[in-house]
Amino acid sequence: MLIGYARVSTTGQNLDRQIAALRAAGVETIYSEKASGKAVGGRPQLEKAIDALGTDDVLVVAEWDRATRSMMDGIQIMLRIARRGSAIRVLDKPHLDLTTPIGRGFLAFLSALAEDERERIVARAADGRKAARGKGVKFGPKPKLTAHQQAKALERRAAGESCREIGRDMGVSHSTIARLRCQV
């Protein structure tokens, strides 16, 4: 039996391409999820797919990096599947026969490459944020009040008005006004 697994990292991404590839390969049972690959423990549907494997069944994934993000994680997945008497098939690597030692070794190598790519993505993103901060870019939500409105709210607060009263007049939550007090 063929059991498929598909994953995208964010809710804004789409599973359609992977599911279509799995269906084209003859997979009827597909476990899918929208979960980040950086946390290796955060893929409950992958766990269910592996648990559903029986002897001579095959776990089919469209791309190996959808199932794993690190070499050790990939090796653990391969070992778990092998212990069940099952195999892995990776659609974007049709030349690999993952039922052989060489095929499994190559898959471990691909897992290491996926881990390296993940680390490079994280490093590039951190470098980009650091460079943006250096240029004065502010991260986070846009302030609800302009600097002038914040100054006026603080003046009114100092005069004894309540945060609720000021917030109501300015069209913001009282907690927005209360947080201004912390910034002084």
For 58-88, what is each residue's pLDDT tens digit? Answer: 999 998 888 887 777 878 888 888 889 998 8
Give residue 11's pLDDT band: very low, low, confident or very high (50, 70, 90). confident
For tokens 């964010």, the residue is: 10
Question: Residue 130 pLDDT more than 50?
Answer: yes
Is pLDDT above 70 for 9?
A: yes
DSSP H or E run through 83:
helix 71-83
**Architecture of 2-131 per CATH?**
3-Layer(aba) Sandwich (3.40)
Catalytic residues: 9
- With cut-offs at 50, 70 and 90, classify the pLDDT of residue 113: confident
pLDDT at 99: 65
106 vs 147: which has the higher pLDDT: 147
- Residue carrying the six token digits 């095929």: 103
Taking only the tens place, the pLDDT of each residue in 12-61 is 788 899 999 999 999 989 999 887 666 556 788 999 999 999 999 999 99
- Stretch 114-143: mean pLDDT: 88
| pLDDT at 37 (0 to 100) | 60
Least confident of 113-122, 130-139, 142-151: 113-122
CA 149 from chain centre, in angstroms, equals 38
Tens-place pLDDT, residues 138-168:
888 888 999 899 999 999 999 999 999 999 9
Query: What confidence category does residue 184 fall into, taking pLDDT thresholds of 50, 70 and 90?
Result: very low
* Domain residue spans of the chain: 2-131, 147-183
Residues contacting 91, CB < 8 A, separation 6+: 21, 22, 25, 60, 61, 62, 63
For residues 117-133, give the mean pLDDT: 90
Specify the amino acid at residue 181.
Answer: R
**CB neighbour burial string for 141-175, b if at least 16 within 10 angstroms, e if fewer:** eeeebeeebbeebbebbeeeeebeebbeebebeee
Q: What is the pLDDT of residue 97?
A: 61
Torsion of Cα atoms, 47 then 49 then 31 then 64, to 10°? 80
Average pLDDT over residues 120-134: 91
How far does the chain reach from its first CA to its final CA, in angstroms?
A: 65
